[in-house]
């Protein structure tokens, strides 16, 4: 069947609509049974809870929390908890489905979920956030569980919040259950290698794609947008493998050096400068948006969603785009990029190193054993490489872009599992 270009959406497209448009296209090409399509479209379970919290000034504020389980057909559901002002049920539903596809594409035995609380953690004290996280955990006590639904950090939450969740859950069970959540501090059973896992997966995906495109990493140049966890680790690991990282950027500035930016120096500068690259002296400053259109071999958008759109896609000069961020490319930009012959490894494949090592954290917790960083890295590299090869082969077989191929691999796996299990 010929590849059908996804119908371009209007300018107001958000990444979740973009995901649905690609889901539809992949389902059409697979010839997915309409009944299974309808099953996959709808989340399995949605919980909305009210969380009354005593604030530091003694007043009680009520927050709304959500947990959406998109699918548990492949195993317990997995997905982060977001603390953010913009959290709403629709967004959580879309993000939960996204997790199903991400876990399926890297072939880890998890379904997809997502949770969130509409709040502004930047304006809350540690005590208020702790009470909110513990209350959220108690409200979700019949949903969470190491064999049922395993949360993780997302925007606005981190290891500290996961420790509170683990503790609160454990109290209700009368024993320590560290496998109920991932992204914990190392002392509580967090995994070595988790911090760099997503950036490392980006690197493995980029190296695999460059091999197919016959790009020699020692002659290749690269630009990385976003210099947080994903971007800085990806830049560092790509530089270690011989690529010349000629540009990096964050919210506060973009920096270009034709001879290659010293990534270690940039990381050190950022860490000593409250997380910002502003004023970095190892490269020349340039306008932030230009990082996407530099004449480089590899572009890694690792900042945020919707940065490659119909208004700049035409100017992109990279041969390869490896998506580190979630949803950096709009579906309208897809067709422009495809027509230019640029290869894109999609988010659900290239940033899945994080959820892969979260899965390893859960495996280690259940084994009651700790792996070395070397073992974690070796195993996650193999999963990422196998996933890339599988998606690449699907793209060749069906003559579709890698993005559609990744959705096809994921949807096919989930749909086949539904068919075998039946029970409708
Ligand atoms: P982070 O907060 O550590 O870093 C984000 C970086 O992007 C910061 O340097 C920030 O200044 C920069 N940034 C934000 N908006 C920007 C813009 N418009 N232009 C340039 N720079 C901008 O976040 P992170 O954990 O590195 O996540 C980055 C992306 O990767 C997000 O889309 C996230 O959802 C996705 N992701 C992260 C993980 C993970 O394990 N951390 C896993 C999968 C996907």
Residues 107 and 162 both lie in one domain? yes
Last residue of a domain, one of 177, 211, 232: 177
Residues 342 and 224 reside in one and the same domain: yes
Q: Which domain holds residue 245?
A: 197-350
Same domain, 131 and 230: no
183 within ligand 1 shell (Cβ under 6 A):
no
Has residue 24 been placed in a domain? Answer: no
Q: Tens of pLDDT along 228-242? A: 999 999 999 999 999
Residues 273 and 146 in one domain: no
Last residue of one domain, picked from the residues 350, 383, 403: 350
Q: Does pLDDT of 11 surpass 90?
A: no
Segment 205-229 shows an average pLDDT of 98
Question: In this predicted model, which residue has the larger pLDDT, 11 or 115?
Answer: 115
The rounded Å distance from CA 39 to ligand 1 centre is 32
What's residue 329's pLDDT? 93
CATH number of the CATH domain containing 270: 3.40.50.720
Would you call 102 a catalytic residue per the annotation?
no
Q: Evaluate whether residue 424 is within a structural domain.
A: no
Least confident range from 35-39, 253-257, 346-350: namely 35-39
One domain for residues 228 and 169: no
Whether ligand 1 lies within 6 angstroms of the CB of 410 is answered as no
Best mutation site among 231, 347, 359 for ligand 1 pocket (most ligand atoms within 8 Å of CB) = 231
Would you say residue 29 lies in a domain?
no
* pLDDT score for 176: 97
Is residue 10 situated within a structural domain?
no
Q: What percent of the chain has pLDDT over 90?
A: 88
Provide the mean pLDDT of the chain. 94
Statement to judge: residues 100 and 220 lie in one domain = no
Looking from the CA of residue 227, the nearest atom of ligand 1 is 9
* Gap from CA of 348 to ligand 1 centroid (Å): 15
Tell me, what's the pLDDT at 17?
A: 75
Q: What is the 3-state secondary structure (H, E, C) of the chain?
A: CCCCCCCCCCCCCCHHHHHHHHHHHHHHHHCCCHHHHHHHHCCCEEEEEEEEEECCCCCEEEEEEEEEEEECCCCCEEEEEEEECCCCHHHHHHHHHHHHHHHHHCCCCCEEEEEEEECCHHHCCHHHHHHHHHHHHHHCCCCCECCCEEEEECCCCCHHHHHHHHHHHHHHHCCCCHHHCCCCCHHHCCCCCHHHHHHHHHHHHHHHHHHHHCCCHHHCEEEEECCCHHHHHHHHHHHHCCCEEEEEEECCEEEECCCCCCHHHHHHHHHHCCCCCCCCCCCEEECHHHHHHCCCCEEEECCCCCCECCCCHHHCCCCEEECCCCCCECHHHHHHHHHCCCEEECHHHHCCHHHHHHHHHHHHHHHCCCCCHHHHHHHHHHHHHHHHHHHHHHHHHHCCCHHHHHHHHHHHHHHHHHHHHCCC
Instruction: Note whether 77 and 167 are same-domain residues.
Output: yes
Listed range (36-45, 131-140, 159-168) with the worst mean pLDDT: 36-45
Q: Is the pLDDT of residue 248 over 50?
A: yes
Could you tell me if the CB of 80 is within 6 A of ligand 1?
no
329 domain-assigned: yes
> Which of 8-22, 152-166, 167-181, 330-344 has the weakest average pLDDT?
8-22
Given 78, 93, 114, 332, the catalytic residue: 114
Confidence of residue 372 (pLDDT cuts 50, 70, 90): very high
Please say if the pLDDT value at position 4 is more than 90.
Answer: no
Q: What is the pLDDT of residue 35?
A: 87
Note whether residue 14 is domain-resident.
no
Task: Check which CATH number belongs to the domain holding 94 and give it.
Answer: 3.40.50.10860
Task: Specify whether 69 is located in the same domain as 105.
Answer: yes
Verify that 159 and 270 share a domain, yes or no.
no
pLDDT tens per residue, range 68-107? 999 999 999 999 999 999 999 988 998 999 999 999 999 9
In this structure, the answer to whether residues 170 and 90 fall within a common structural domain is yes
Residues 52 and 145 in one domain: yes
Q: Looking at the structure, do residues 283 and 323 belong to the same domain, yes or no?
A: yes
For the segment 262-312, what is each residue's pLDDT rounded down to a tens digit? 999 999 999 999 999 999 999 999 999 999 999 999 999 999 888 999 999
The total domain count for the chain is 2
Q: How far away, in angstroms, is 305 Cα from ligand 1 center?
A: 9
Name which residue sits closest to atom 34 of ligand 1, judged by CA.
Answer: 326
Is 303 close to ligand 1, i.e. is its CB under 6 Å away? yes
pLDDT band for position 8 (50/70/90)?
very low
Q: Tell which of 350, 378, 405 closes a domain.
A: 350
pLDDT (mean) for 326-341: 93
């Amino acid at each position: 069947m010929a590849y059908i270009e996804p119908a371009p959406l209007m300018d107001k497209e958000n990444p979740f609509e973009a995901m649905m448009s690609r889901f539809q296209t992949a389902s059409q090409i697979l010839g997915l049974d309409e009944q299974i399509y309808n099953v996959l479209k709808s989340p399995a379970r949605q919980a909305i809870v009210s969380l009354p919290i005593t604030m530091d000034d003694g007043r009680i504020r009520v927050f709304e929390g959500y947990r959406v389980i998109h699918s548990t057909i492949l195993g317990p559901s997995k997905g982060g908890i977001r603390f953010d002002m913009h959290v709403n049920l629709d967004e959580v539903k879309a993000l939960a489905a996204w997790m199903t596809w991400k876990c399926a594409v890297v072939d880890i035995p998890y379904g997809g979920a997502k949770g969130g609380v509409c709040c502004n953690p930047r304006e809350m004290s540690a005590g208020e956030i702790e009470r909110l996280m513990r209350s959220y955990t108690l409200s979700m006590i019949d949903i969470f569980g190491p064999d049922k639904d395993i949360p993780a950090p997302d925007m606005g939450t981190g290891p500290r919040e996961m420790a509170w969740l683990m503790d609160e859950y454990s109290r209700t069970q009368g024993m320590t259950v560290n496998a109920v959540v991932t992204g914990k501090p190392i002392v509580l059973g967090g995994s070595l290698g988790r911090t760099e896992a997503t950036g490392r997966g980006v690197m493995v995906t980029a190296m695999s794609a460059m091999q197919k495109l016959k790009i020699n990493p020692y002659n290749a140049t690269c630009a990385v947008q976003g210099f947080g966890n994903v971007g800085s680790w990806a830049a560092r690991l790509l530089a270690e493998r011989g690529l010349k990282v000629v540009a990096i950027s964050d919210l506060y500035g973009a920096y270009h050096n034709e001879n290659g930016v010293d990534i270690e120096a940039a990381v050190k500068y950022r860490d000593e400068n409250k997380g910002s690259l502003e004023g970095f002296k190892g490269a020349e400053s340039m306008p932030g948006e230009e990082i996407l259109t530099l004449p480089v071999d590899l572009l890694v958008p690792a900042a945020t969603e919707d940065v490659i759109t119909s208004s700049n896609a035409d100017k992109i000069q990279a041969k390869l785009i490896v998506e580190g961020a979630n949803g950096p490319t709009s579906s309208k930009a897809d067709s422009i990029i495809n027509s230019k012959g640029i290869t894109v490894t999609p988010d659900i494949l290239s940033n899945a190193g994080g959820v892969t090592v979260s899965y390893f954290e859960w495996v280690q917790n259940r084994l009651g054993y700790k792996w070395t960083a070397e073992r974690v890295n070796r195993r996650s590299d193999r999963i990422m490489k196998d996933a890339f090869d599988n998606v690449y082969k699907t793209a060749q077989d069906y003559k579709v872009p890698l993005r559609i191929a990744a959705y096809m691999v994921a949807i096919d796996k989930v749909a086949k599992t539904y068919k075998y299990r039946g029970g409708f």
